[in-house]
Chain A
């Protein structure tokens, strides 16, 4: 099922707020998970698993390190779901 970039961004905002307590309003495509949002490595695992469940995609462990920004994650998920 195709997912729009806007839908995925909205979903990730909700997930990151829930998991890491970061206000959704401060989560944008160019934000770096580690440096800007201070999502630590354990919480990143939670974000990934929650994204997999929500969007019905697989995010292999070796890909997770490539997902530096929120935008990287959105693009990966949109492509994986296409």
Chain B
């Protein structure tokens, strides 16, 4: 059997910048921020008073009864998957045993868990919703999408903190490559804007506390960055075997060339300053794709706006790409979306697909003074034109625990 190739045939998203891919991408190219002050009273409990909530509430995009039975993370997954499936041409006549779903979440239905604990304390066991467990389980987003599409090739949920979304896309790629499926709906979601997870991140000193200027708080690579901004939402990509997509006349965005995975074995939360794990993941990804550093023109960085993380990543990129880093336009879109945790690698994959399509690398906003320790070519303020012809781009994602995932996207 000849090598199976994997292409992207559908995109969906709900993000702090828009309720779908088009509105989100337009806002990204315009350099808008999705970060806003929280309106809830509980913000006063915390040192951080802002976050990046989705631009469109799922309640405006779904039936009321669905909302009631689904955790917010599951709602995001269905909203983004419905858009992506429609964008792929709604290939409902596929053999369902050849249809898979891989949708990740970093921390699952944490809002449901915490709300139901309040119910238990206030009303007793009878007050706990019978939907609690299906709503809080981290595989809930994938399971609900799988049910809706009647997917029978396998429904999976990789969990690797902030690398989860990228790992899901990579897992989906492998499913098609290894002939387990012909179409896989893949992505990542997160819904964790709640006082408890935020207090936990704040206790780690991981969050920006720029309360007087939320829209400028997420500032990857800026000298005065002081932590990440929590975001919510998700992204979904429909991956499909190339010949399958061609045979049904699907719109093909680009190809997934391959992926590279590694782990640091260094620290539960801090990045390895040496960055050897990230370098290995990039090396594996390029080898897996049959590409070299010369072919890469764009990279959507993990760059969360933390003091240590951004520089460690940039150093690793410089070491892995060498002199070829000079022709890689590096974009940190978390400057606009905030950090979607388990959704990050997925929406950033969506952005790469759009970047290859439009030949535009998105901007990185809020860099007033570029940190001189950052030795990669960062796209600042406005989008940058990418070359014509055959090009390739990388998405790197890292998670607490030392997970490194690098995905390769190629124009087709």
Which residues of A are interface residues toward B (Cβ below 8 A)? 19-21, 41-43, 45-46, 49, 52
**Which chain A positions have C-beta within 8 A of B126?**
49, 52
Which of B68, B126, B127, B130 has the most A CB atoms < 10 Å from its CB? B130
- Complexed CA–CA distance, A20 and B65 (Å): 6
Query: Which residues in B have their C-beta under 8 angstroms from that of A52?
Result: 126
Chain A residue at minimal CB-CB distance from B134: A42
Contact with A along B52-70 (1 / 0, CB 8 A): 0000000000011100110
Count chain B CB atoms within 10 A of each CB in A19, A41, A49, A52 and give the residue with the most: A49
What are 15 inter-chain pairs, A to B, with CB distance below 8 A?
A19-B65, A19-B68, A20-B65, A21-B63, A21-B64, A41-B130, A42-B69, A42-B130, A42-B131, A42-B134, A43-B130, A45-B130, A46-B129, A49-B126, A52-B126
**From A49, which residue of chain B is reached at the shortest CB distance?**
B126
Chain A residue, CB-CB nearest to B63: A21
Bound state CA distance, A45 and B65, in angstroms? 15
Count class of interface residues, chain B:
10 to 19
5 smallest CB-CB distances across A and B, nearest first, come from: A21-B65, A45-B130, A42-B130, A49-B126, A42-B131
Q: Are A46 and B130 in contact (CB under 8 A)?
A: yes
Interface residues of B in 144-201 (CB under 8 A from A): none
Return chain B residues, CB-CB under 8 Å to A43: 69, 130
A6 to B179, CA, bound (A): 59
Q: Could you tell me the distance in whole angstroms from the C-beta of B291 to the nearest C-beta in chain A?
A: 48
How many Å from the CB of A42 to the closest CB on chain B? Answer: 4
State the CA gap A6–B196 with chains docked (Å): 45
User: For A19, what are the chain B residues with a Cβ–Cβ distance below 8 Å?
Assistant: 65, 68
Which residue of chain B has the shortest Cβ distance to A52 in the bound complex? B126
* A43 to B64 alpha-carbon distance, docked (Å): 14
Docked Cα-Cα span, A46 to B68, in Å, equals 11
List 11 extra interface pairs beyond A46-B130, A49-B126, A49-B127, CB under 8 A: A19-B68, A20-B65, A21-B63, A21-B64, A21-B65, A42-B131, A42-B134, A43-B69, A46-B129, A46-B131, A52-B126
Q: Considering the complex, give the chain B residue whose CB is closest to the CB of A46.
A: B130
